[in-house]
Structure 1
Amino acid sequence: MSNVGQIEKATQQRVVKLFQEKLGYDYLGNKIDGVDNRNINTNLARSFLKKQGYDDALITKALHQFSKVAGDQTKSLYDTNKAVYELLRYGVKVKAEIGENTQTVWLIDWKHPLNNHFAIAEEVTVKGADAKAAIKSFGKRPDVVIYVNGIALGVLELKRSTVSVAEGIRQNLDNQKKLFIQPFFTTLQLVMAGNDTEGLRYGTIETPEKYYLTWKQDSTIENLLDRHLTQLCNKTQLLELIHNFVVFDAGVKKLCRHNQYFGVKAAQDHIKRREGGIIWHTQGSGKSLTMVWLAKWLRENVKDARVVIITDRTELDKQIETVFKGVDEDIYRTQSGADLIATLNDTQPWLIASLIHKFAGKDNEAQPGDIEEFIAEMKRNLPPDFKARGDIYVFVDECHRTQSGELHKAMKAILPNALFIGFTGTPLLKADKQKSIEVFGGYIHTYKFDEAVRDKVVLDLRYEARDIDQSITSTAKIDQWFDSKTRGLNDVALAQLKKKWGSMQKVLSSKSRLEKIVADILMDMAIRDRLQSGRGNAMLVTSSVYEACKCYELFEHSELAGKCAIVTSYAPSPADIKGEETGEGLTERLRKYEIYNRMLGDQTAEAFEEAVKKKFIKEPGQMRLLIVVDKLLTGFDAPSATYLYIDKQMRDHGLFQAICRVNRLDGDDKEYGYIIDYKDLFKSLGTAIHDYTSGALDAYDKDDVAGLLKDRLEMAKQRLEEAREAIKA
């Protein structure tokens, strides 16, 4: 064996020893020569079930049903794995004999984790998925397989310290292909890869490499791999993760991140003490799924629990509905204030979504009048038998906004005995902190932006304040744009074109400010790699719908024609232009109406918006720019979004949420999210000191927004210097 093989073997031997001596797993041996290695060891499973007191007939039927589901190769890996998970989590329903009552056979004792049999095997040689693939795949053998009661629940690929963990991840992904050993993965819940220098990364079936996670938990163990394995594969924690923190989300199986796990655990402790509080998990770190896991735990562990999820915007209300329905939880969205009261007065449904304005009798996002007067009137008009049924838990999304104000009084008036938990993706303002803590309680758990960046959960942001007059007439920028447009031309054609564009600076300097911004964005579209390739796209924030329409019209006369759209709350109606005609040309209202209608064609504004958002996310090369005012600046997840251009005065929560639209992970070519600021929100133009915790974000405590934005040019210089040093070394 080569020295490289010996090094990996030494790591594997240490890991096997760790599982046995520190974690208390049994050792099933080296299975390299096994001719019938499967993901279900029926002997071990039968032995466990016998100890649990099931009779032979029930055991035989349960194992037959389970093996049949796990071995079904007519379905996709996702569908089969989901069906297996449901049998593991909720038990196998069988009848010993025809006519007898159905009984549930639990293949895992979830309530008493240490009652289960935990074991590992190494070098588990698995045959290919079918006869044609057997020759190619016979050599596929996971380094370590974790069995619980004879069922393969985890797999681990190990690499030596000088080989990236990414190699192990790719090996796992290869193994899941039909060409290799896909059927072995039908029972697997945890798919891992690791080495001594990077530690362990984990995912589940079909998790793309970029979404593999790293576990973070305090420990005195220095070796990263040993630390992560000791924590993640601890018997009790392993089963808890599988039971409470797995979700099948609209075709994608997901496991929790460490912040979601510890956030939910902390919330559970608060709930047991009957205390509310606030969970602050930064934008893009999975706040919606944290709600899902906490809601599921409440339903299963608290008698008569009902969960009401409150948002303050229709688009967020819809998003919450989409998230819960995506994980097969039927959530009811209330239609009006009266519907909300009627729903609370009944015992069903257990899961409800509502706009907060419905607590003030409003059926939309309109602001209420006198809250005190409304509460008094509401109490007079409540049904005589009204009482919110069940043990109610209110999850308040984006709790830094409306919900901390007067409308909270209406919620408390209708639900005096409810426990309130606030969720936010942005820090609390200095001025609101005390008030929010009085309303909800203290922080239950926090996970800040800089932590998420370090964990590679979201991307770092690069900020640039652009003086549009200087930027658009910059000789270097025009040369860069010119080069991008003339690649492949011969010298003669190049010289002719250069003459033609010689006066470009003069032309650009005479344009209006809005025309300059449009020209500046078009230049970026031509010279920025990710925008040029069509793999990434951008959003432009304007100050009004009219400004958005003017920009759209300018882009429609460029190469972005048909690949640019406006998304706002405006829906053109003939009533908007009644009495506007003066006979002296288009007024602002008429022009806005005309441009917007031309863009919509024969679609409604709502249908157009849905189609545009879908194309922006799924086909970034075909929808390269969205122009917005307020919409889509919160709760809109588009991994392709790479650049955010701001031409609007923004600050605090609105600014924080907007810039996080471009921090989502995407392909390897998306290293950062870029913020281009035409309004100089931080007053940094012309100054040497760039403090991005002041200015437009000065209403936050500095510690809460530290590291959010970094100067693009300074970071580029630093990166160049590091590259130079690396070359010298």
Structure 2
Amino acid sequence: MNTDRDRLESEFVEDPAADLLRVLFDYRELLPGDVASMRDGPTDVLLTRRLETQLKTLNPWIDEDGIRRAIAAITRISAVDLIDANEKAYTALTYGITLPHTDSAGRRQDRSVRYFDFDKEDRNTFEFARQVTVKGPRQEIVPDIILYVNGIPLVVIECKSPALSDPIGEALRQFRRYEGREEFQGLGAPRLFEVSQLSLALARDVAKSGTTATPPRFWADWRDPYPMSSDALSSRLGRTPTPQDALLAGMLAPENLLDLVRNFIIFETIEGKRIKKIARYQQYVAVGRTIERIRFAPRPEKRGGVIHHTQGSGKSLTMVFLAIKLRRLPEAENPTLVIVTDRTELDGQITGQFQRAGFPNPVQAESGEHLRDLLSGGAGTTVLTTVHKFQSAVPKRTDVISEGENIFVMVDEAHRTQYGALAARMRAGLPHATMIAFTGTPIDKKDRATRRVFGDYIHRYLIHQAVKDEATVPIFYEMRDARMRVHGRELEADIRNAFPELSDEEIQKLKRGTRLQEKVAGAEQRVRMICQDILAHYCSTIEPNGFKAQIVTASRDVAVTYVETLRDLGAPECAVIMSTANNDSARLQRHHHSKREREDLVARFKRKNDPLKILVVCDMLLTGFDAPVEQVLYLDAPLREHTLLQAIARVNRTADGKKYGLIVDYWGDNRRISEALEMFSEDDGVLSAMRPASEKYQLLESRHRAAMRLFDNIDRTDEEACVLLLEQEDIRARFELDYQRFAEAMDMVLPDPKALEEPYASDLKWLSRVRAVARRTFSDERFDVRPYGAKVGDLIASHLQSEGVEQLLQPTDILDPAFLQSVAELHSEEAKAARIEHAIRHEIHVHREENPTAYSSLWEDLEELISRRRTDRVSAASQLARLDELASRSAELRRGSVGYHLSGTSGAILPLIDFAPDVDEATRQEIATHIATDLEEMAQVIDWQMKEDVQRQMRRKIKEHLRSAKADFSAMEASTAKIMDVARARLVK
């Protein structure tokens, strides 16, 4: 390793971590000699002498043979792989093992061996050692820090220099080598990780936690030092805590570490593969605060509350962790746990989560009577049910099921049905139960019912926090329009001709009952138009990265129209998932699926490599559906409020290579989006989570500028000089990070033609070349990174070579006369459209007397409906008005006259100078004029912009004037660079 990196790693990461453990939490630091004296050799992962002593302390009855057996139980494990071995060791460590024992009277009985005292942390020893060598089958590993509890290595810590461009990535690669996984198969020292429970990657400004064999995208931040406050941590450290400090304090405080190991680790089998999970910080804090409220509430009815954890952040697992903790809570006295949902699908999902997590004996209630029997059967039962079963379980308000106070009811998505009549049934049947509500969407700020039933918030983890923590991906929102027009006036006559026997009053009732919105939505021409647009978008933007799509429609009929149209257009494999009824039409019945078939389709959709790419739904899979492979949701339905937000959250799950989720809205009533978001207080973070698609372009612009800034003052055609700028390691690290972020932003925008505009494409290609040369020149392994996306590679390799790229909109200067003329023409078209609309309405008015009932009803309603759907979109006229305003402002900016008395080059330069406060306006203008005059004079040299000596003279002259302006010295370089940019833009001939 590079000596400078060694120094930075030690000084900024490893030493502060060791100090925090030693000073804040009284961990004892073991020297190399201590470690050597307590273990049998470099292949021994335990501090065996320490463990022997602690086993005797915690189990006074144990003999020497028992100690040998207890140690063998966690070191000599027969297993099929690392996870299997780790799970067996974990079970022994947390539950203990059973050994035969003969007491002093000669009686033989089994006894449980404890490795830790989980209830009294001071009876355990907490120690750590640095740079411990552990010998594996073929090579040695040397983790930076190993943390031992009772001689057992529970935590392995890898430290990396904060100067690295991707320190966490480097640490995770190191962990794979240590564990002997993937590209390091057969290497490393996996025996250490058969016993360890936490793996931590530290780099001061970023720190992440994982466990055995955790995939990279599941390594997580730990931002809360709970139960210590951030202020208390800052006070004890005597400085502002770093992310590394928060993680260490939150996870490795002795009480927290034992709690995490005992109650917040689970093993699951997913798609036939056994995986290990450890809680994220929001799950740990929520459970901790819930337990606090239960233990210290002044009255039993105050023990409940609301946990708001945003969709996709692991709410179901939080319920499992809380259930595990409640089972071990002495105050709960062997509690009865009731997990309640309001949908059969959610009931099955959460039941599956409890079963996969190995939670002991959860029972799913089959009916109201069965629910009543289960809750009447005594303490200790875990029951999963839908809220509707309380209807028959508690037929009368006086039918109490249980008076017990050790009943804990966890209610999922509590804002929907549970706080109404059915919640009253729950409360009547279980009058002294503790009610704990879980919700993935914020509680309506006008809604007091949920809090009245369940209590105040216990913990909140909001959408913007989840995105920041990378627990979910950001969501982009895009709106599209399928425009429709009504042709002809025959509609009214056709209705009358079809039903001649009906009176005018009956015709009116018929037309009032016509669901115009749904008819328009399901029109075959409209659906086909949208399907063509969806396929073009999906096949170019989503499918190339291996992700899938969901389409939400207004009704089951429309859903069937969608799936039939998609198949007719040759779409990738798609299926409709919807509820069914015996009296459905033959058309709908052709798309019926049994419960097993629906489950098979959903399972296929969730598998990334399965050819089923698109699901069409209307009333199913909008909530409680977790498919990380889904990246886009095409929305063509009038969803509102919580249902809308939950549907939107279908695309926010993380997956490898997934940078964002996308909502493409075809419905047209954008007011419902605003209503859904405005329901909640701004501090809910919802407003920041829904991002317009244009934000991707803004992100591209800002990241492009950041990546290119280093080369502002150098001739880019001089490749050698550009590469030499990257000679210093810290500058290369910054450049690498900026390059990666720019490449990632390009990947998010592609294949949108915006990404092909200059200078993005050519600059990315140029940066890639400079980066490659710098990597060869400085032999820096850190530059050996993975490709940044198939689409970016395609762009560099082939798109830039093509001369036949079709652009939907040719880039045009908004001050170009041709562009201004087109704006005027668009304005005239808008005016024409307005006149046509007025003429149509006039015609209706004129002919209304011919048939007042007909002309005042359906046709007018339909035309108005379509018009309203169109005008609810962002108005083209208003956008053009904004362009006019922008064009005027840009013209003023180009003249340099916005807010200043100067114009031309001097007016453009004036706002770029950072004057001292005591410089008056006249002096400011004079200095700007002098700079402009000097630059204009020196720019008379032919091709001055290509001659470094001329540019050097310009920069020197600019700085002379800036000094006379008493400009801030620290800002002088930045001001000079900006003024030179103005010169290049204005003075190049």
Q: TM bucket by the smaller chain?
A: 0.7 to 0.9
Q: 2:544 aligns with which of 510, 532, 553?
A: 532
In 1, are the aligned partners of 2:172 and 2:201 still within 8 Å (CA)?
yes
**What does 1:488-527 correspond to in 2, within 5 Å?**
512-527=525-540
* 1:640 to partner: Cα distance: 0.5
| Cα distance in structure 2, aligned partners of 1:700 and 1:238 | 36
In 2, are the aligned partners of 1:428 and 1:700 still within 8 Å (CA)?
yes
In 2, are the aligned partners of 1:345 and 1:388 still within 8 Å (CA)?
no
Q: What's the % identity of the aligned pairs? A: 31
Could you say which residue in structure 1 is the equivalent of 2:599?
A: 610
Could you say which residue in structure 2 is the equivalent of 1:333?
A: 364
Change (3 A) 1:518 1:99: farther
Could you say which residue in structure 1 is the equivalent of 2:678?
A: 698
- Structure 1 residues without counterparts, runs of 5 or longer: 363-370, 471-509, 577-588, 598-603, 685-691
| Cα distance in structure 2, aligned partners of 1:117 and 1:215 | 24
What SS does structure 1 have at the residue aligned with 2:101?
A: coil
Change (3 A) 1:60 1:197: same
Q: Does residue 83 of structure 2 align to residue 84 of structure 1?
A: no
Could you say which residue in structure 1 is the equivalent of 2:414?
A: 399
The amino acid that maps onto 1:544 is S
Q: 1:70 aligns with which of 49, 70, 75?
A: 75
The amino acid that maps onto 1:413 is A
Could you say which residue in structure 2 is the equivalent of 1:465?
A: 479
What SS does structure 2 have at the residue aligned with 1:706?
A: helix
Change (3 A) 1:646 1:147: same
| Cα distance in structure 2, aligned partners of 1:229 and 1:699 | 38
CA deviations 1:398-445 (Å, max 9, x no partner) are 10010011111111111112111111111112332x111111111111
Q: Which structure has greater helix proportion?
A: 2
**What does 1:370-519 correspond to in 2, within 5 Å?**
374-375=395-396, 379=399, 387=402, 391-432=406-447, 434-469=448-483, 512-519=525-532
| Cα distance in structure 2, aligned partners of 1:387 and 1:679 | 48
| Cα distance in structure 2, aligned partners of 1:621 and 1:87 | 39
| Cα distance in structure 2, aligned partners of 1:641 and 1:338 | 39
Could you say which residue in structure 1 is the equivalent of 2:174?
A: 171
| Cα distance in structure 2, aligned partners of 1:276 and 1:397 | 14
CA deviations 1:616-667 (Å, max 9, x no partner) are 1113551110001121111111111000000000111000100100000101
Q: 1:710 aligns with which of 679, 687, 691?
A: 691
Q: Does residue 318 of structure 2 align to residue 306 of structure 1?
A: no
| Cα distance in structure 2, aligned partners of 1:118 and 1:716 | 51
TM-score (norm 2): 0.61
The amino acid that maps onto 2:548 is N
Q: Does residue 287 of structure 2 align to residue 281 of structure 1?
A: no
| Cα distance in structure 1, aligned partners of 2:419 and 2:537 | 41
Could you say which residue in structure 2 is the equivalent of 1:640?
A: 629
* 1:102 to partner: Cα distance: 1.2
The amino acid that maps onto 1:558 is L
The amino acid that maps onto 2:21 is F
Could you say which residue in structure 2 is the equivalent of 1:592?
A: 588
| Cα distance in structure 1, aligned partners of 2:687 and 2:671 | 17
* 1:14 to partner: Cα distance: 4.2
Tell me the number of residue pairs that the alignment of Structure 1 and Structure 2 aligns: 631
Q: Does residue 129 of structure 2 align to residue 121 of structure 1?
A: yes
| Cα distance in structure 2, aligned partners of 1:23 and 1:390 | 37
What SS does structure 1 have at the residue aligned with 2:163?
A: coil
| Cα distance in structure 1, aligned partners of 2:108 and 2:440 | 52
| Cα distance in structure 1, aligned partners of 2:29 and 2:706 | 48
* 1:66 to partner: Cα distance: 3.9
| Cα distance in structure 2, aligned partners of 1:436 and 1:231 | 31
Which stretch of the first structure deviates more once superposed, 93-102 or 245-254? 93-102
**What does 1:8-407 correspond to in 2, within 5 Å?**
8-10=9-11, 11-30=13-32, 35-52=41-58, 54-55=60-61, 57=63, 60-97=65-102, 100-128=108-136, 130=137, 134=138, 137-138=139-140, 140-163=141-164, 164-177=167-180, 178-179=185-186, 180-198=188-206, 200-217=207-224, 218=230, 219-220=233-234, 221-222=239-240, 223-250=242-269, 251-272=274-295, 273=297, 274=300, 275-301=303-329, 302-329=332-359, 330-347=361-378, 350-361=381-392, 374-375=395-396, 379=399, 387=402, 391-407=406-422
The amino acid that maps onto 2:695 is E
| Cα distance in structure 1, aligned partners of 2:27 and 2:629 | 44
* 1:450 to partner: Cα distance: 0.9
CA deviations 1:328-359 (Å, max 9, x no partner) are 12211111111111222212661001111111
Q: 1:664 aligns with which of 653, 656, 666?
A: 653
What SS does structure 1 have at the residue aligned with 2:51?
A: helix
Could you say which residue in structure 2 is the equivalent of 1:726?
A: 707
| Cα distance in structure 2, aligned partners of 1:300 and 1:9 | 40
What SS does structure 1 have at the residue aligned with 2:371?
A: helix
CA deviations 1:457-496 (Å, max 9, x no partner) are 11110000111349xxxxxxxxxxxxxxxxxxxxxxxxxx
Could you say which residue in structure 2 is the equivalent of 1:499?
A: none
* 1:706 to partner: Cα distance: 2.3
In 2, are the aligned partners of 1:81 and 1:186 still within 8 Å (CA)?
yes
* 1:516 to partner: Cα distance: 0.9
CA deviations 1:173-210 (Å, max 9, x no partner) are 22212512112101111101111222x21110011111
| Cα distance in structure 2, aligned partners of 1:396 and 1:3 | 54
| Cα distance in structure 1, aligned partners of 2:20 and 2:293 | 34
- Structure 2 residues without counterparts, runs of 5 or longer: 225-229, 485-522, 711-989
CA deviations 1:598-632 (Å, max 9, x no partner) are xxxxxx52122111111111135511100011211
CA RMSD, Structure 1 to Structure 2 (Å): 2.4
CA deviations 1:84-119 (Å, max 9, x no partner) are 111111122112349611112211111111221111
| Cα distance in structure 2, aligned partners of 1:47 and 1:523 | 69
In 2, are the aligned partners of 1:40 and 1:67 still within 8 Å (CA)?
no
The amino acid that maps onto 1:423 is F
The amino acid that maps onto 2:407 is I
In 1, are the aligned partners of 2:334 and 2:379 still within 8 Å (CA)?
no
Q: 1:682 aligns with which of 670, 676, 697?
A: 670
In 2, are the aligned partners of 1:170 and 1:209 still within 8 Å (CA)?
no
Change (3 A) 1:398 1:65: same
The amino acid that maps onto 2:687 is A
In 2, are the aligned partners of 1:538 and 1:645 still within 8 Å (CA)?
yes
| Cα distance in structure 1, aligned partners of 2:454 and 2:22 | 45
| Cα distance in structure 1, aligned partners of 2:210 and 2:253 | 17
In 1, are the aligned partners of 2:641 and 2:675 still within 8 Å (CA)?
no
* 1:240 to partner: Cα distance: 1.6
Q: Does residue 563 of structure 2 align to residue 552 of structure 1?
A: yes
Which stretch of the first structure deviates more once superposed, 169-178 or 64-73? 64-73
Change (3 A) 1:414 1:184: same
| Cα distance in structure 2, aligned partners of 1:413 and 1:672 | 45
| Cα distance in structure 2, aligned partners of 1:295 and 1:723 | 48
| Cα distance in structure 1, aligned partners of 2:250 and 2:571 | 51
CA deviations 1:532-574 (Å, max 9, x no partner) are 24x100100001111111111111123435x111111126x4x
Which stretch of the first structure deviates more once superposed, 208-217 or 658-667? 208-217
Change (3 A) 1:72 1:566: same
Which is greater in Rg?
2
